[in-house]
Structure 1
Amino acid sequence: MSETATEAQIQEAIYISRILILVPLTVLVYEYLLTLEYEASTFWGTRLTWGSFFFYLNRYTSLFGTLPILIQYYSTTTEPRKQPVCQALRLYHQYFALLSQVLVSVMLIMRTFALYQRNKTVLAFMLVVTIGAFVFAVVILLSGNDVDTLAPNIAAFGCPEGTSHAKSLRLAGAWSGMLVFDIMIFSLTLVKAFKMNARRGDLLTLLVRDGSIYFGIMVISNACNIGTYTMSGPFLRGGATTVTNVVSSVMISRLMLNLRDPMIRRPQSNNPTRLSSSEDPVISTVSPYTTEYTTTNTQWTSVLDDQ
């Protein structure tokens, strides 16, 4: 079934899709400038480890890798000789989205593995779910064909490109694998938070410290992106992909920066397993209120920082 739209509808959809690219890029740049000084004081000049390597890779790939996507969406050329460039930008967009999610997934697995004190059963569970989601995504992407169901006046409109309904459903299915992964990480972190809460109250504080709220935001962002594939028009399908990638990148970068917080690595109180309320970090990866503080923080640090 062919999809049609008027030129005015196409222009409106392209305008919205451009906003969905510009806004997250602006947030990404603002976040970078906001945390640059802290990054310089905690990461620059230190020994390069797996943790810092993935931190730099995620942070700067996201920052500079989004620029070609901005060019793609703001290009208005319809000249035939420019179409190969547009096609290359579209292909780049797809692979960049995949790379962004792979980087975030690796770092989240490392974090959760450390949070559970290197529990190999938990690691095996995460790997099974992750590999299963990845295989599912690859199969569903390769199982269909990309027959264009868009009307000629929609199929090419500068570099912005409409996505057919059949293809969008397959892409939504592929992204659902990432949603399953996010839910798994969110659930494991939430379980850890509740277990800590069994020894001390203030659940919200523990939820924040364990990053559960961060992961909740990532889950919601991913779900909204899937919704654009299934419920939006041709030019808005997948329009929230960049939003999802930026949210994921910013969240994991924040968690890594918080890990380097001196108050987490070197408690200032006399009790090494406890911090006063005035010393509590806004968000950290462990709860300093439990006897697990030293053990969990050491495991998390040794996994990511090899220290």
Structure 2
Amino acid sequence: MSETATDAQIQEALILSRILILVPFTVLVYEYLLTLEREVSMFWGIRLTWASFFFYLNRYTSLFGTLPILIQYYSTTTDPRKQPVCRILRGYHQYFALLSQVVVAAMLIMRTFALYQRSKPIMAFMLVVTFGVFVSALVILFSGNDIDTLAPNIAAFGCPEGTSRAKSLRLAGAWSGMLVFDIMIFFLTLARAFKMNAAARRGDLLTLLVRDGSIYFGLIVLINACNIGTYTMSGPFLRGGATTVTNAASSVMISRLMFNIRDPELRRPHSNNTSGTARRLSSTEEPVISTVSPYLTEEEYTQFEDVM
């Protein structure tokens, strides 16, 4: 059955889809200007590592890579001579979304590996799950036979492209794999937080979870779930409309995690601890958001910093 919509409904959907592109781009620009000073002081002029390489890749591809997507969604041309450019922009959008998630996944794996003090079993587990998710996504994306259910007035409406129901369900399946990956990272981080909290015998678990980044990952899981919901429950022009929101939120949060790791005020809260044992914060100390538990020993911090 063909999916139909009036011109007014299409225009309303296009306005919403453009807002879902413009808002995250605005957030990316604002975040970049807000944290540029921190980037200069913490990353510029310092030896390039894999962690800093992925930091730059994540930060600048998300910022500048969103520009062609803005052009795609704000172009309303129906000139047949410009349709090849539109097809290029649509293809770019799909591959850029994939690249963004690969970069974020690489940074999450490195961070979790560092958080577990370079545990090889943990790394092996993460790589197996990641490989399975990646292969499953490729199979879902390239094995389907899409049936175009869009009416002509939906299928061809300038550079913005309506997504058929069949294709949107396959894309939702592919994004579900990323959701599985995010949940894995979330629970690994959560498990580490509980273990450190038990070892320190401290009752303020929420502070530790915020310090350890678990709330960050919980938000990523929630945003990804909402994005999948747009594929399964929205109209043709809004299917996948939260993809740029997901990529921008992931990019901003990962950048913040990296800033916290390199912040001298956060990464060595135990600097006065000369005994080499884990230090507990007193109940009067102001909680700060960090990605490193305050209960790591000097040796554990050194191992973490060698990776990140």
Alpha-carbon shift at residue 126 of structure 1 (Å): 0.6
Distance 2:207 2:307 in 1: 24
**TM-score computed with the length of structure 1 as normaliser:** 0.95
Please identify runs of 4+ aligned residues in structure 1 that moved more than 3 A.
264-269, 272-281
Give the match's secondary structure for 1:300. Answer: helix
Alpha-carbon shift at residue 278 of structure 1 (Å): 7.5
Give the match's secondary structure for 1:118. Answer: coil
Post-superposition CA distance 1:99-154 (Å, at most 9, x none) = 00000000100000111111111111111110001111011111212332100110
Of 222, 225, 229, the residue aligned with 1:223 is 225
Q: Is 2:302 the counterpart of 1:298?
A: yes
**1:32/1:276 CA distance change after superposition, 3 Å:** farther
Distance 2:286 2:100 in 1: 31
2:91 match: 91
User: Please, which runs of 5 or more residues in structure 1 have no aligned partner?
Assistant: none
Q: Is 2:214 the counterpart of 1:212?
A: yes
Q: Is 2:289 the counterpart of 1:286?
A: no
Aligned AA for 1:287? Answer: S
Please give the residue correspondences for 1:1-307 in structure 2 after superposition, counting only pairs within 5 Å: 1-198=1-198, 199-267=201-269, 270-271=272-273, 273-274=278-279, 282-288=288-294, 290=295, 292-304=296-308
Distance 2:94 2:154 in 1: 20
Distance 2:59 2:286 in 1: 26
Alpha-carbon shift at residue 277 of structure 1 (Å): 6.7
- Contact 2:267 2:292 survives alignment (8 Å): no
- Contact 1:116 1:296 survives alignment (8 Å): no
**1:255/1:91 CA distance change after superposition, 3 Å:** same
- Contact 1:179 1:222 survives alignment (8 Å): yes
- Contact 1:209 1:283 survives alignment (8 Å): yes
Distance 1:220 1:182 in 2: 10
Distance 2:270 2:138 in 1: 49
**TM-score computed with the length of structure 2 as normaliser:** 0.94
- Contact 1:171 1:229 survives alignment (8 Å): yes
- Contact 1:117 1:295 survives alignment (8 Å): no
Q: CA RMSD in A?
A: 1.5
Alpha-carbon shift at residue 303 of structure 1 (Å): 1.1
User: How much identity, in percent, do the aligned residues show?
Assistant: 81
